[in-house]
Structure 1
Amino acid sequence: MTLARAFPDDATGWWIFLGSFALYVLGRWFFAWRQARRDGDSHPVRAAFAEEDDADAIHAVTVGGFRSYRQLFGFAGSAVITVLVAVLTDGGLRTALLWTVVPLLVTALSYVDFRQARQARSGG
């Protein structure tokens, strides 16, 4: 019996892992910056970096570690899509699709999380 690994063992796996995390963070900052600009903030970059989930605005955790069903379904759907691409394709096509689909899914998840945090702060 083999155990599932939590972290990659090689440098390439770590770069992919860290790149996905960095893309998520950059996506959240971009969406916060864009919202601050849209709201007419005089310092949208400062507002984007100050963007944090307010502990008082967030209510009880709804579904496991997710705050909404959209987050749960977004995460599960992204995992299913990634696994399907990895299983149903091979070689260069797999690489091209994963390098295209995974960043899009990570960015979409950062947008869903940004919207959820914004709704929690506004009380809606």
Structure 2
Amino acid sequence: MIALYVLGRWFFAWQQARREGDSHPVRAAFAEEDDPDAVNASPTGGFRSYRQFFGFVASTVVVTLVVTLADGRVRFLLLWFLVPLLVVALSYVDFRQTREARSKAR
């Protein structure tokens, strides 16, 4: 799942670089890194925003509900569909949060 998260972040960075007309969008996607000065203590713990925190909590609740309420093949199919979807959604929320922080810093 970590690999899927990283691939999602790279994809969103690549897509943004293409949209902005970067001559090397792949290079821009791989060069995207979080600013180490932007990481501050926050009331949400290690999360930089309430969106990230609530996205993580909601994802946990959804997976827990599927595990407890579904059985057999239905559980298997739902988890194979929902977990990657939730991981990519969280990577998108993180990508947007980073992009907004960079635009405010400029």
Normalized against structure 2, the TM-score is what?
A: 0.94
Q: What runs of 5+ residues in structure 2 fail to find an aligned partner? A: none
Code of the residue aligned with 2:5 in structure 1: it is Y
Aligned to 1:88: 69
Correspondent of 1:99 among 80, 84, 88: 80
Aligned to 2:40: 60
Shift of 1:102: 0.4
CA distance in 2, matches of 1:51, 1:24: 14
Alignment of 1:108-123 (within 5 A): 108-123=89-104
Shift of 1:107: 0.3
Larger Rg: 1
Aligned sequence identity (%): 69
CA distance in 1, matches of 2:62, 2:41: 25
> Hey, which of these two has a bigger chunk of helix by percent?
2
Shift of 1:29: 0.1
The 4+ residue runs of structure 1 with deviation greater than 4 A are none
Shift of 1:61: 2.9
Q: Give the secondary structure class of the aligned counterpart of 1:123.
A: helix
Correspondent of 1:78 among 28, 41, 59: 59
Code of the residue aligned with 1:60 in structure 2: it is N
Aligned to 1:31: 12
- Cα-Cα RMSD: 1.1
CA distance in 2, matches of 1:87, 1:43: 46
Normalized against structure 1, the TM-score is what?
A: 0.81
Q: How many residues are matched?
A: 104
